[in-house]
Amino acid sequence: MTAGPDMVFSEVFRAMYPEVLRFVQRRAGPDAAEDLAAEVFTIAWGKWGAVPREVRPWLFGVARNVLAEDRRVQGRRRRLELRLGGEREPLYDEVGLTAMTVDLHVAWARLSDVDREALALVAWDGLTGREAAQVLGCTRAAFSVRLSRARRRLKRLLSDVEPHAATGSTPCVAHDSTPSTLKGTP
């Protein structure tokens, strides 16, 4: 079932823009977030007649693709800058991490991008299992498996982390040099 003429684009925009913007802000720098959110709705406008009636997971799915494309472009640009200028690759900043305790911060940093994505869709973006599965393009059962694995790993990592083993100034880098899918998080 698609959005159809009875779903007014401007009303959906007003209702969903804040959620989409926050979704993007959790994963991209603050400078780019509004541009990327605008791109999501530009795509939605172009495809409005074919947008599913259940529009929220669809918009988040589009936002996820827009973010992935932006990361590819930024990655290429950064690699070029590094080659040209010999600059050091910037570390993740600590925007938005103040609410994380040190042990959660360290455990989160040790999770894979796949695990973080599953957890964030539910804990931060507030999606149901069915909606998150739609965003990720998998079945609800598959998402359930992915989420329970991620939750189990986070729990185990939290129990492994000694609070004194890390300081509050732990740099916000992933455990490898791969950019996280969730920028603004370690």
Partner 1 sequence: MTKSLMDDPVMRRLADADPVPTGPLTLAETARAQSVLYRIMARPRTAVRRSHRRRLWTRGAAAAAALATALLAGTFATTPASARYVLLEAAAGAAVQPVEDGEYWYVRSQEDDPRSVPYQREVWRSADSFLLRSESSAAFAAWEAGVSFLDPELVRVQDMSNDDGTIAGFGDGVQLTWAELESLPSDPDALSRQLTAELAVSGHGGDWDLWNQVVGMLQESPASPELRRGLWQVLSGISGVELVGTVTDSAGREATAIQADFTDRRLPRYELLLDPGDGSLLETRVYDLDDSLLFRSTVLEQGYRDAAPAPEPPLCGPGSAPEQSC
Contact residues: partner 1, CB under 8 A = 1-2, 9-10, 13-14, 17-19, 21-22, 25-26, 34, 37-38, 41-42, 45-52, 58-59, 61-62, 64-65, 68, 95-97, 99-101, 104, 112, 114, 117, 119, 122-129, 134, 136-139, 141-142, 144-147, 151, 154-155, 158, 181, 184-185
33 sits in the region (left: phi over 0; alpha: psi -120 to 50; else beta) called alpha
Q: Give every CB contact of residue 58 below 8 A, 6+ residues apart in sequence.
A: 44, 51, 52, 134
Q: Map residue 2 onto helix, strand or coil.
A: strand
Q: What is the H or E stretch that residue 136 is in?
A: helix 129-136
For residue 28, the minimal CB distance to partner 1 (Å) is: 10
Whichever of 42 and 160 has its CB closer to partner 1, that residue is 42
For residue 38, the minimal CB distance to partner 1 (Å) is: 5
For residue 102, the minimal CB distance to partner 1 (Å) is: 11
Whichever of 70 and 146 has its CB closer to partner 1, that residue is 146
Sign of the alpha-carbon dihedral angle for 61, 66, 72, 75: negative
For residue 124, the minimal CB distance to partner 1 (Å) is: 5
Q: Map residue 52 onto helix, strand or coil.
A: strand
